[in-house]
Amino acid sequence: MKLIILDRDGVINYDSDAFIKTPDEWKPIPGSLEAIAHLTQMGYRVVVAANQSGIGRGLMDMAALNAINDRMWKAACQAGGRIDAMFFCPHACADKCDCRKPATGMFKEIAQRFGLELDGVPAIGDSLRDMQAAATVGALPVLVLTGKGEKTKAEGGLPENTLIFSDLAAAVNALAK
């Protein structure tokens, strides 16, 4: 089975410093839904793993998160793609949980649910914490320059095997080769 792990905000959809709190605030980055469709056509199982501290901060509830994710799933389907699973951490940074990236709890849960090791599995994100979580579990860290990606690249400190692409579509096109 081919598996790929995607962060949500800043990778699939535009990010916001004020958080994505409603389905209307969820706006796909151009080419991202088509990239998910391309992954689906290539036989990848597409999994989203996202920190969603807006829940822990009281900015939204589970119903709002579910409605946002439902919009994302439907948009991916309409583009010909499929998102096989959504994993998220609802905690704020201060909670010191083991699921909030850069901790690896979500990644370990993905490995367990899909019954595989994550060695070499592409994990695409836009933040240092995405790259750190991926590298810690042996996944392939892939930074996109959308969302916080440009700032993340400029700040440095990326795991040494991190691949860098302009956006999700460019990363997926590279995987297709």
**Residues known to be catalytic:** 7, 9
Burial 150-166 (b: 16+ CB within 10 A, else e): eebbeeeebeeebbbbe
- String of b and e for 86-111 (b: at least 16 CB within 10 Å)? bbbbbbbeeeeeebbbebbbbbbebb
3-state secondary structure of 50: strand
Which residues partner with 85 through β-bridges?
47
